[in-house]
Copies of this chain bind each other. A is one copy, B any other.
Amino acid sequence: MEKEARRTRWKQDPDSVKADILRAAVAEFSVKGLSGTRIDEIARRTATSKRMIYYYFGDKVGLYRAALESEYHRARHQEGEIDFSGLDAVEAMRRLVEFTFDFHRHHPEFVAMIAHENTQAAVHLAESEVIRRLNQGAVNQVGEIYADGVARGQFRPGLEPVRLHWMISALCFYNVSNRHTFSAGFGDTIHSDEGQETHRRFVVDLVMRAVMAQPEATSTAP
Protein backbone atom coordinates (compact mmCIF):
# COMPACT_ATOMS: atom_id res chain seq x y z
CA MET A 1 0.00 0.00 0.00
CA GLU A 2 2.90 2.31 -0.66
CA LYS A 3 3.21 4.95 -3.34
CA GLU A 4 5.14 4.04 -6.50
CA ALA A 5 5.30 0.76 -8.38
CA ARG A 6 2.76 -1.98 -8.07
CA ARG A 7 4.63 -5.19 -8.73
CA THR A 8 7.40 -7.04 -6.98
CA ARG A 9 8.21 -4.48 -4.34
CA TRP A 10 9.82 -6.03 -1.36
CA LYS A 11 10.50 -4.24 1.78
CA GLN A 12 12.83 -7.19 2.11
CA ASP A 13 15.81 -7.03 -0.18
CA PRO A 14 17.63 -10.36 -0.47
CA ASP A 15 20.26 -9.13 -2.90
CA SER A 16 21.51 -6.32 -0.75
CA VAL A 17 21.36 -8.53 2.31
CA LYS A 18 23.58 -11.04 0.54
CA ALA A 19 25.95 -8.31 -0.60
CA ASP A 20 26.09 -6.97 2.93
CA ILE A 21 26.96 -10.40 4.28
CA LEU A 22 29.65 -10.95 1.65
CA ARG A 23 31.26 -7.62 2.45
CA ALA A 24 31.50 -8.50 6.12
CA ALA A 25 32.65 -12.02 5.28
CA VAL A 26 35.54 -10.81 3.12
CA ALA A 27 36.62 -8.42 5.84
CA GLU A 28 36.82 -11.23 8.36
CA PHE A 29 38.06 -14.11 6.21
CA SER A 30 40.83 -12.04 4.64
CA VAL A 31 42.29 -11.28 8.05
CA LYS A 32 41.52 -14.38 10.09
CA GLY A 33 41.28 -17.08 7.45
CA LEU A 34 38.67 -19.81 7.21
CA SER A 35 39.24 -21.43 10.57
CA GLY A 36 40.07 -18.25 12.45
CA THR A 37 36.87 -16.51 11.45
CA ARG A 38 33.81 -16.68 13.70
CA ILE A 39 30.42 -16.71 12.04
CA ASP A 40 29.03 -14.74 14.96
CA GLU A 41 31.59 -12.05 14.35
CA ILE A 42 30.61 -11.76 10.69
CA ALA A 43 26.98 -11.56 11.75
CA ARG A 44 27.80 -8.75 14.15
CA ARG A 45 29.37 -6.78 11.27
CA THR A 46 26.27 -7.07 9.12
CA ALA A 47 22.94 -5.31 9.35
CA THR A 48 21.30 -8.71 9.56
CA SER A 49 21.65 -11.83 11.68
CA LYS A 50 23.53 -15.12 11.78
CA ARG A 51 20.35 -16.86 10.82
CA MET A 52 20.45 -15.15 7.41
CA ILE A 53 24.00 -16.28 6.73
CA TYR A 54 22.95 -19.89 7.02
CA TYR A 55 19.78 -19.20 5.12
CA TYR A 56 21.61 -17.84 2.09
CA PHE A 57 25.00 -19.57 2.17
CA GLY A 58 24.37 -22.90 3.84
CA ASP A 59 27.39 -23.15 6.08
CA LYS A 60 30.74 -21.59 6.87
CA VAL A 61 32.57 -23.10 3.93
CA GLY A 62 29.79 -22.08 1.57
CA LEU A 63 30.13 -18.51 2.72
CA TYR A 64 33.91 -18.68 2.40
CA ARG A 65 33.70 -19.84 -1.20
CA ALA A 66 31.15 -17.20 -2.06
CA ALA A 67 33.38 -14.52 -0.54
CA LEU A 68 36.39 -15.80 -2.49
CA GLU A 69 34.52 -15.81 -5.78
CA SER A 70 33.07 -12.38 -5.20
CA GLU A 71 36.59 -11.01 -4.81
CA TYR A 72 37.65 -12.69 -8.03
CA HIS A 73 34.68 -11.26 -9.84
CA ARG A 74 35.60 -7.79 -8.78
CA ALA A 75 39.20 -8.26 -9.91
CA ARG A 76 38.11 -9.64 -13.23
CA HIS A 77 35.79 -6.75 -13.79
CA GLN A 78 38.46 -4.12 -13.19
CA GLU A 79 40.98 -5.97 -15.31
CA GLY A 80 38.92 -5.36 -18.43
CA GLU A 81 38.68 -1.65 -17.72
CA ILE A 82 42.26 -0.70 -18.53
CA ASP A 83 42.43 1.72 -21.43
CA PHE A 84 45.31 0.95 -23.78
CA SER A 85 44.03 3.05 -26.64
CA GLY A 86 46.67 5.09 -28.39
CA LEU A 87 49.53 3.37 -26.59
CA ASP A 88 52.38 1.55 -28.27
CA ALA A 89 53.71 -1.70 -26.83
CA VAL A 90 56.20 -0.06 -24.47
CA GLU A 91 53.65 2.35 -23.05
CA ALA A 92 51.02 -0.37 -22.84
CA MET A 93 53.34 -2.64 -20.90
CA ARG A 94 54.09 0.16 -18.48
CA ARG A 95 50.44 0.84 -17.96
CA LEU A 96 49.66 -2.81 -17.40
CA VAL A 97 52.29 -3.11 -14.70
CA GLU A 98 51.18 0.13 -13.09
CA PHE A 99 47.59 -1.04 -13.04
CA THR A 100 48.52 -4.40 -11.57
CA PHE A 101 50.66 -2.74 -8.93
CA ASP A 102 47.88 -0.35 -7.96
CA PHE A 103 45.16 -2.94 -7.98
CA HIS A 104 46.98 -5.20 -5.54
CA ARG A 105 47.94 -2.26 -3.39
CA HIS A 106 44.38 -1.03 -3.12
CA HIS A 107 42.83 -4.44 -2.53
CA PRO A 108 44.76 -6.07 0.28
CA GLU A 109 41.74 -8.25 1.11
CA PHE A 110 41.98 -9.79 -2.35
CA VAL A 111 45.65 -10.51 -1.81
CA ALA A 112 45.02 -11.89 1.67
CA MET A 113 42.29 -14.25 0.51
CA ILE A 114 44.57 -15.72 -2.13
CA ALA A 115 47.39 -16.02 0.36
CA HIS A 116 45.07 -17.97 2.65
CA GLU A 117 44.02 -20.23 -0.19
CA ASN A 118 47.63 -21.04 -0.90
CA THR A 119 48.40 -22.06 2.65
CA GLN A 120 45.60 -24.57 2.23
CA ALA A 121 46.85 -25.81 -1.13
CA ALA A 122 44.09 -23.86 -2.89
CA VAL A 123 41.54 -26.58 -2.22
CA HIS A 124 38.58 -24.24 -2.46
CA LEU A 125 39.83 -22.49 -5.56
CA ALA A 126 40.70 -25.61 -7.48
CA GLU A 127 37.06 -26.42 -8.15
CA SER A 128 36.15 -22.92 -9.23
CA GLU A 129 35.87 -22.05 -12.88
CA VAL A 130 36.03 -18.34 -12.26
CA ILE A 131 39.72 -18.22 -11.42
CA ARG A 132 40.75 -20.09 -14.54
CA ARG A 133 39.07 -17.55 -16.76
CA LEU A 134 40.45 -14.64 -14.80
CA ASN A 135 44.02 -15.83 -15.01
CA GLN A 136 43.79 -16.84 -18.62
CA GLY A 137 42.52 -13.40 -19.46
CA ALA A 138 45.47 -11.81 -17.69
CA VAL A 139 47.94 -13.94 -19.62
CA ASN A 140 46.32 -13.15 -22.95
CA GLN A 141 46.45 -9.48 -22.12
CA VAL A 142 50.18 -9.39 -21.47
CA GLY A 143 50.75 -11.82 -24.33
CA GLU A 144 49.18 -9.48 -26.87
CA ILE A 145 51.17 -6.49 -25.72
CA TYR A 146 54.35 -8.51 -25.75
CA ALA A 147 53.75 -9.93 -29.23
CA ASP A 148 53.13 -6.44 -30.52
CA GLY A 149 56.37 -5.17 -28.99
CA VAL A 150 58.37 -8.04 -30.44
CA ALA A 151 56.90 -7.44 -33.89
CA ARG A 152 58.03 -3.83 -33.70
CA GLY A 153 61.48 -4.77 -32.51
CA GLN A 154 61.01 -3.03 -29.17
CA PHE A 155 60.95 -6.19 -27.05
CA ARG A 156 63.37 -9.07 -27.17
CA PRO A 157 61.82 -12.30 -28.46
CA GLY A 158 61.75 -15.69 -26.77
CA LEU A 159 59.77 -14.96 -23.62
CA GLU A 160 56.63 -16.88 -22.71
CA PRO A 161 53.52 -14.81 -21.85
CA VAL A 162 52.74 -16.97 -18.83
CA ARG A 163 56.17 -16.26 -17.38
CA LEU A 164 55.78 -12.55 -17.99
CA HIS A 165 52.48 -12.63 -16.21
CA TRP A 166 54.09 -14.61 -13.42
CA MET A 167 56.78 -11.97 -13.01
CA ILE A 168 54.42 -9.01 -12.86
CA SER A 169 52.13 -10.88 -10.51
CA ALA A 170 54.99 -11.95 -8.25
CA LEU A 171 56.28 -8.41 -7.77
CA CYS A 172 52.87 -6.81 -7.29
CA PHE A 173 51.51 -9.56 -5.08
CA TYR A 174 54.54 -9.83 -2.83
CA ASN A 175 54.57 -6.07 -2.39
CA VAL A 176 51.26 -6.36 -0.58
CA SER A 177 51.27 -9.88 0.81
CA ASN A 178 54.59 -9.57 2.63
CA ARG A 179 54.51 -5.93 3.59
CA HIS A 180 54.16 -6.67 7.29
CA THR A 181 57.09 -8.99 7.74
CA PHE A 182 59.17 -6.85 5.43
CA SER A 183 58.37 -3.66 7.28
CA ALA A 184 59.07 -5.38 10.57
CA GLY A 185 62.56 -6.07 9.32
CA PHE A 186 63.45 -2.78 7.61
CA GLY A 187 61.06 -0.11 8.69
CA ASP A 188 58.66 1.38 6.19
CA THR A 189 61.08 2.86 3.66
CA ILE A 190 59.45 0.82 0.96
CA HIS A 191 55.93 0.56 2.27
CA SER A 192 55.14 4.07 3.39
CA ASP A 193 52.95 6.08 1.04
CA GLU A 194 55.89 8.04 -0.38
CA GLY A 195 58.04 4.91 -0.47
CA GLN A 196 55.46 3.14 -2.57
CA GLU A 197 55.68 5.77 -5.29
CA THR A 198 59.37 5.15 -5.69
CA HIS A 199 58.83 1.45 -5.43
CA ARG A 200 56.15 1.49 -8.10
CA ARG A 201 58.64 3.03 -10.53
CA PHE A 202 61.21 0.47 -9.48
CA VAL A 203 58.85 -2.42 -10.22
CA VAL A 204 57.85 -1.00 -13.60
CA ASP A 205 61.51 -0.53 -14.41
CA LEU A 206 62.32 -4.12 -13.53
CA VAL A 207 59.68 -5.45 -15.89
CA MET A 208 60.77 -3.15 -18.70
CA ARG A 209 64.38 -4.20 -18.29
CA ALA A 210 63.23 -7.80 -18.52
CA VAL A 211 61.44 -7.33 -21.83
CA MET A 212 63.18 -4.48 -23.66
CA ALA A 213 65.58 -5.14 -26.47
CA GLN A 214 67.60 -2.07 -25.42
CA PRO A 215 67.05 -1.82 -21.67
CA GLU A 216 69.22 1.30 -21.27
CA ALA A 217 66.54 3.43 -22.87
CA THR A 218 64.04 2.37 -20.22
CA SER A 219 64.93 4.01 -16.96
CA THR A 220 62.84 6.97 -15.92
CA ALA A 221 65.10 8.06 -13.10
CA PRO A 222 67.96 10.51 -13.82
- Give the residue of B117, B135, B166, B183 whose beta carbon is less than 8 angstroms from that of A190: B166
Q: How far is the CA of A221 from the CA of B119 in the complex (A)?
A: 34
Complex interface: chain B residues within 8 A of A184 (CB): 122, 125-126, 131-132
Interface size class of A (residues with CB under 8 A): 35 or more
As for how many copies of this chain the complex holds, the number is: 2
- What 0/1 readout, one digit per residue, does chain A (176-218) give for beta carbons within 8 Å of chain B? 0111111111100110000000010010001001100001000
What residue in chain B is nearest A167 (Cβ atoms)? B206
- What 0/1 readout, one digit per residue, does chain A (104-139) give for beta carbons within 8 Å of chain B? 000000001011111111100110000110111001
Q: Is the CB of B177 within 8 A of A169?
A: no
> Which one of A27-35, A59-67, A80-88 contacts B?
A27-35
Q: Is the CB of A163 within 8 A of B199?
A: yes
Q: Is the CB of A170 within 8 A of B175?
A: yes
Q: How far is the CA of A170 from the CA of B177 in the complex (A)?
A: 10
Tell me whether A39 is interfacial, beta carbon within 8 Å. no
A136, A206, A221 — most chain B CB neighbours (10 Å): A206
Residues of A that sit less than 8 Å from B by CB: 30-36, 112, 114-122, 125-126, 131-132, 134-136, 139, 158, 162-163, 166-167, 169-171, 173-175, 177-186, 189-190, 199, 202, 206, 209-210, 215, 221
Given contacts A115-B115, A115-B119, A190-B162, contact A185 B135 (CB under 8 A): yes
Give me the 8 closest cross-chain CB pairs, A-B, nearest first: A135-B185, A35-B36, A122-B180, A170-B174, A122-B181, A118-B180, A209-B209, A121-B180
